[in-house]
Chain A
Amino acid sequence: DAKTTQPPSMDCAEGRAANLPCNHSTISGNEYVYWYRQIHSQGPQYIIHGLKNNETNEMASLIITEDRKSSTLILPHATLRDTAVYYCIVTANQAGTALIFGKGTTLSVSS
């Protein structure tokens, strides 16, 4: 069973920020929050991950609440190419740990 809950779908206008929520109320102290996305018919692509602190890279920002029970992935200026299924995954960052994917959020970016 996936340890996360995400809305099944979201819409976003091109150029606006896309804020994708994820609930992970049973997260353990040694577990990280990972975000991946899958553009139609391609393999999933790593976006970002974090433990406690907020993280930012060239693709997105990750905001984790202080109690770590939820997080938000932010795409600051969504483009049509960001249309994809976004997966939030909680996992321990240990050797060979397997990622278990849930259903994710289908983000549709429109012009």
Chain B
Amino acid sequence: DAGVIQSPRHEVTEMGQEVTLRCKPISGHNSLFWYRQTMMRGLELLIYFNNNVPIDDSGMPEDRFSAKMPNASFSTLKIQPSEPRDSAVYFCASSQDTSNYGYTFGSGTRLTVV
């Protein structure tokens, strides 16, 4: 298994531009999570899905952030418009309800908004 796949690995964009981060969970996993990590705030949960349905988006910082999971093998996190304070590493993770191995995280997307 290739694990959780995130793309792109690095993204540099100008303030005001739209940014789309992508995630492919592990096949068979039915929960998907988006996290953001900064030095100041650590790892923050943004939103998570169970069976493609958003369960809790209370961590999404503003209306500029949106996430979708159109099917079991793909999810996106979109920021529109982007701001410098959105600069962070964004992680996607997936898990299987019956798994004893917790979450599997992707390698992350390092976003820099200039």
* Residues of chain B at interface, number, CB under 8 A: 27
Chain A residue nearest to B45 in the complex (CB): A98
Q: How far is the CB of B19 from chain A (nearest CB, A)?
A: 19
Contact of B108 with A by CB under 8 A: yes
Chief secondary structure at chain A's binding surface: loop
Contact of A86 with B by CB under 8 A: no
Would B48 and A46 count as touching, CB distance under 8 A? no
For B45, give its contact among A36, A46, A49, A99 (CB under 8 Å): A99
Given A100-B45, A101-B42, A103-B42, are A95 and B104 neighbors across the interface (CB < 8 Å)? no
Chief secondary structure at chain B's binding surface: strand
Contact of A102 with B by CB under 8 A: yes
Contacts of B48 in A (CB 8 A): 96, 98
Residues of chain A whose beta carbon lies under 8 Å from any beta carbon of chain B = 34, 36, 38, 41-46, 49, 87, 95-96, 98-104
Residues of chain B whose beta carbon lies under 8 Å from any beta carbon of chain A = 4, 30-31, 33, 35, 42-43, 45, 48-50, 55-56, 89, 91, 93, 95, 97, 100-108
Closest 6 CB pairs between A and B? A43-B105, A96-B50, A101-B43, A46-B102, A95-B97, A96-B31
